């Protein structure tokens, strides 16, 4: 049985909604996007991964919640689905299922089948890529985890595998035959290892190309006769042409190279793939003096479909791209040595600090890469030991030294606020904006200036920052609701829109919206609002798209939302404390003369059908419920909507301040399905009563 988390109220008359905006705020109020507005329910489980479309409208998120499935989409007997991947529309507030999550035994809670994880969405929000052990197309006959793409324009069939909503991505070259994998040490009942994708950066902008990797088992990809391609190989699937191409390949041309770790990312134009990988000496040229340790980790990069393109290291200890480095030239492990063969770092990028799981970020064209490393910038006698941000251009003709820029620099000095790893990062399409998550409260040069107020709490919880890398660079903190500070840490998993002005992030913080009651990590969206930028209209908890007419004070507003039981939920934004009164009246109709065959409209006067009184004890968004009685209530519950105009009056508590008034339109209505079921139930009850009377 699914457990619903209803939206709890933070105080009398206060609804879950955005906190008041901070003075001169550069960002919109946080908008909760992992939510079912139709049910007025938050997730009853954690949200764990997110991605966002290019314009910031469509958000896909992975959750373990069990209460987001439609009423007519019941679990199979004896089982329960735990979450999955959903898509949220920030413009309408609607939520849609992308793919089911884990299938559990309803009695024991054991995982029977692993579900969808690690979503990436196309620029227009139509396509979503993910990995799952569920067999979502008829030809998928293996028990391994495979990669799929969902087309959101195609409805789901009851059995999921029919209807054409899903396309198998981890398929053999030249067709749609699924990949085959070597046997693992022990079978996994919930789904054997197979293929995986990295959340947020695995899909091209148009949804055509997908970058994925095989996990620990060898496979027959791209089109081998036996399962000889090693686990940890990187591939690109061209869905349109049904091509599967090996990306991590050996220098000697003998086939796929393994060693790729989970972060495998693709540029928006689909041209470039970057990943964290081992087995570097098999894939890229090494200079004399470099370590040939096959377990050393590097950032690797390749234009996968360019003729003759080879795998390149993004940065590092050596500089094989420097034309002044002579053939056979070498280096030594000396952090202060310089010369044409030495690279921009004091050591290999994975020598200090663990870069596995630290995904690099690519610009839309793939030529610019942002990444994390604890190796310092050469020359330096000592490193700070923290993961910092570097940006490198991969354009031809540039040495690694000339192409690399240091963005952040930690310190081991007595300044705890400037210490700590940068946990994760993301780039805008044009590489002018960089977002990152870190526990740091201060940034040392060469980082741009922090123009938002620094968080005053100790540097233990992660914070989210957005860097403007253009002229007059600056750093901003998006999370400043009401001028205060959030009461939780930001998860390293986040997503950035193409222009870098919308951020989707995860946090367990409970004070970003009023009424956050589930005590789980949720997904939120913020959009930069300065520079004459317009963001999608935020749709809060339970808000359906309705027509809102505002007059009077621009800071005083209201929104009316139809509730499923026929009531009308009214949310009043009160800029000051005071008494609130709302009166709902029907809409007046003027008499019109008969014209031809058109019936004349009878004059109808407006009449009051509902009212409510309350108060706002402080500047806040206050929630009221307007209910109907008698004949009006019966009319609405039978399926006949009742449009109204609601006049809201705010009388400030401070003497001398003028009263404020706003009028908002709304409709008392019950969804057709609910009204029809009520009507049928009523008829059955009448029939039973008639039978008993006989």
Question: In this predicted structure, what is the pLDDT of residue 175?
Answer: 96
CATH number at residue 660: 2.60.40
| pLDDT above 90 coverage of the chain, percent | 54
Over residues 115-152, the pLDDT tens digits come to: 999 999 999 999 999 999 999 999 999 999 999 999 99
Over residues 334-367, the pLDDT tens digits come to: 899 999 999 999 988 987 778 988 999 999 999 9
Residue 267 confidence (pLDDT) above 60: yes
Question: Does residue 651 lie in a domain region?
Answer: yes
What confidence tier does 679 reach under pLDDT thresholds 50, 70, 90? Answer: very low
The reply to whether omega before 618 is within 30° of 0 (cis) is no
Residue 74 confidence (pLDDT) above 70: yes
Question: In this predicted structure, what is the pLDDT of residue 23?
Answer: 35
Question: Does residue 137 lie in a domain region?
Answer: no
Beta strands in 490-574 (DSSP E): 490-496, 502-507, 522-527, 557-562, 568-574
Please state the pTM of the whole predicted model. 0.75
How far apart CA 530 and CA 153 sit, in angstroms, is: 34
Beta strands in 462-521 (DSSP E): 463-468, 474-476, 490-496, 502-507
Question: In this predicted structure, what is the pLDDT of residue 480?
Answer: 54
Question: Does residue 212 lie in a domain region?
Answer: no
Residue 11 confidence (pLDDT) above 50: no
Question: Does residue 610 lie in a domain region?
Answer: yes
Average pLDDT, the chain: 84
Question: In this predicted structure, what is the pLDDT of residue 547?
Answer: 26
Range of the domain at 598: 557-693
Phi, psi (5° rounding) for residue 650?
A: -115, 120
Over residues 361-389, the pLDDT tens digits come to: 999 999 999 999 999 899 987 667 899 99
Range picked from 147-156, 373-382, 476-485, 646-655 for highest mean pLDDT: 147-156
Question: In this predicted structure, what is the pLDDT of residue 35?
Answer: 94
Helix (H) / strand (E) element for 690: namely helix 672-693
Residue bearing tokens 């977002």 = 435
What confidence tier does 544 reach under pLDDT thresholds 50, 70, 90? Answer: very low
- Sequential DSSP letters for 30-68: PEE-SEETTTTEE-SS-EEEEEE-TTS-EEEEEE--SS-
Question: Does residue 669 lie in a domain region?
Answer: yes
Phi, psi (5° rounding) for residue 693?
A: -65, -30
The answer to whether 344 and 369 have CB atoms below 8 angstroms apart is no
CB atoms within 10 A of CB 446: 12
What confidence tier does 516 reach under pLDDT thresholds 50, 70, 90? Answer: confident
Question: Does residue 282 lie in a domain region?
Answer: no
Q: Which tokens sit at 667?
A: 């409709």
What confidence tier does 491 reach under pLDDT thresholds 50, 70, 90? Answer: very high
Question: Does residue 76 lie in a domain region?
Answer: no
Query: Could you say which DSSP state residue 639 is in?
Result: T
Question: Does residue 660 lie in a domain region?
Answer: yes
Question: In this predicted structure, what is the pLDDT of residue 472?
Answer: 67
Phi, psi (5° rounding) for residue 483?
A: 80, 5
Residue 83 confidence (pLDDT) above 70: yes
Residue 234 confidence (pLDDT) above 50: yes
Ranges 166-180, 442-456, 578-592: which has the least confidence: 578-592
Number of structural domains (the chain) is: 1
Phi, psi (5° rounding) for residue 86?
A: -130, 155
User: Quick one: which of 616, 626, 617 has its CA closest to 664?
Assistant: 626
Beta-bridge partner residues of 665: 645
Q: Which of the two residues, 431 and 538, has the higher pLDDT score?
A: 431
Average pLDDT of the segment spanning 397-418 = 88
Residue 76 confidence (pLDDT) above 60: yes
How far apart CA 263 and CA 359 sit, in angstroms, is: 5
How far apart CA 207 and CA 494 sit, in angstroms, is: 20
Average pLDDT of the segment spanning 656-668 = 79
Question: In this predicted structure, what is the pLDDT of residue 552?
Answer: 34
Q: Which of the two residues, 572 and 201, has the higher pLDDT score?
A: 201
Residue 596 confidence (pLDDT) above 50: no
Question: In this predicted structure, what is the pLDDT of residue 2?
Answer: 40
Q: Which of the two residues, 76 and 481, has the higher pLDDT score?
A: 76
Residue 10 confidence (pLDDT) above 70: no
User: Quick one: which of 414, 427, 581, 418 has its CA closest to 495?
Assistant: 427
Question: In this predicted structure, what is the pLDDT of residue 621?
Answer: 78
Phi, psi (5° rounding) for residue 245?
A: -120, 130
Q: Which of the two residues, 236 and 625, has the higher pLDDT score?
A: 236
Question: In this predicted structure, what is the pLDDT of residue 481?
Answer: 55
């Amino acid at each position: 049985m699914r457990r619903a988390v209803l939206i709890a109220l933070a105080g009398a008359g206060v609804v879950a909604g955005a906190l008041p905006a901070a003075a001169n705020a550069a960002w919109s109020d946080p908008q909760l996007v992992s939510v079912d507005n139709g049910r007025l329910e938050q997730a009853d489980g954690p949200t764990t991964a997110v991605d966002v479309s290019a314009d910031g409208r469509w958000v896909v998120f992975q959750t373990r919640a069990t209460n987001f499935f439609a009423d007519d989409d019941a679990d199979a007997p004896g089982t329960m689905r735990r979450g999955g991947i959903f898509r949220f529309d920030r413009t309408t507030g609607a939520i849609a299922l992308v793919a089911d999550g884990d299938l559990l035994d309803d009695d024991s809670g054991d995982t029977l089948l692993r579900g969808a994880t690690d979503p990436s969405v196309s620029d227009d929000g139509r396509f979503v890529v993910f990995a799952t052990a569920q067999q979502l197309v008829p030809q998928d006959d293996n028990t391994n985890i495979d990669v799929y793409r969902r087309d959101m324009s195609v409805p789901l069939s009851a059995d999921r595998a029919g209807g054409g909503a899903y396309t198998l991505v981890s398929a053999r070259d030249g067709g749609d035959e699924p990949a085959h994998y070597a046997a693992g040490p022990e079978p996994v009942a919930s789904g054997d290892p197979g293929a995986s994708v990295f959340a947020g950066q695995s899909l091209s902008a148009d949804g055509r190309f997908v970058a994925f990797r095989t996990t620990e088992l060898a496979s027959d990809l791209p089109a081998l006769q036996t399962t000889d391609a090693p686990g940890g190989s990187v591939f690109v699937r061209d869905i349109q042409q049904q091509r599967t191409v090996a990306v991590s390949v050996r220098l000697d041309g003998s086939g796929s190279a393994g060693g790729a770790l989970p972060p495998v990312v693709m540029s928006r134009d689909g041209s470039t793939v970057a990943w964290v990988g081992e087995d570097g000496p098999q894939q890229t040229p090494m200079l004399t003096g470099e370590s040939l340790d096959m377990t050393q980790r590097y950032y690797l990069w390749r234009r996968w479909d360019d003729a003759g393109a080879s795998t390149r290291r993004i940065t590092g200890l050596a500089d094989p791209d420097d034309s002044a480095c002579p053939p056979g030239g070498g280096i030594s492990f000396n952090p202060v040595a310089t010369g044409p063969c030495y690279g921009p770092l004091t050591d290999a990028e994975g020598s200090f600090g663990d870069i596995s799981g630290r995904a690099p970020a690519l610009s839309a064209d793939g030529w610019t890469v942002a990444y994390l490393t604890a190796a310092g910038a050469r020359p330096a006698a000592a490193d700070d030991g923290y993961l910092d941000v570097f940006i490198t251009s991969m354009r031809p003709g540039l040495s690694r030294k000339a192409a690399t820029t240091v963005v952040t620099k930690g310190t081991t000095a007595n300044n705890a606020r400037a210490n700590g790893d940068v946990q994760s990062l993301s780039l805008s399409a044009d590489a002018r904006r960089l977002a990152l998550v870190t526990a740091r409260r201060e940034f040392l040069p060469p980082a741009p200036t922090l123009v938002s107020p620094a968080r005053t709490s100790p540097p233990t919880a992660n914070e989210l920052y957005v860097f403007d890398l253009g002229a007059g660079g600056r750093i901003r903190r998006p999370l400043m609701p009401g001028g205060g500070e959030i009461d939780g840490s930001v998860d390293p998993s986040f997503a950035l829109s193409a222009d870098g002005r919308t951020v989707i992030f995860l946090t367990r913080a409970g004070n970003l919206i009023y009424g956050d009651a589930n005590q789980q990590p949720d997904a939120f969206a913020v959009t930069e609002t300065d520079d004459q930028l317009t963001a999608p209209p935020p749709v809060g908890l339970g808000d359906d798209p309705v027509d809102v007419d505002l007059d009077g004070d621009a800071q005083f507003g209201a929104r009316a939302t139809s509730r499923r039981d026929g009531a009308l939920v009214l949310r009043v934004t009160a800029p000051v404390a005071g008494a609130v009164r709302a009166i709902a009246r029907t809409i007046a109709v003027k008499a019109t003369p008969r014209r031809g065959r058109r019936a004349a409209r009878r004059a109808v006067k407006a009449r009051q059908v509902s009212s409510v009184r309350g108060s706002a004890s402080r500047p806040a968004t206050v929630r009221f419920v307007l209910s109907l009685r008698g004949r009006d209530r019966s009319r609405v519950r039978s399926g006949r909507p009742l449009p109204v105009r609601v006049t809201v009056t705010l009388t400030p508590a401070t003497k001398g301040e003028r009263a404020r008034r706003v009028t908002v339109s709304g409709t008392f209505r019950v969804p057709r399905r609910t009204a029809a079921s009520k009507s049928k139930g009523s008829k059955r009850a009448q029939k039973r009563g008639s039978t008993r009377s006989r």
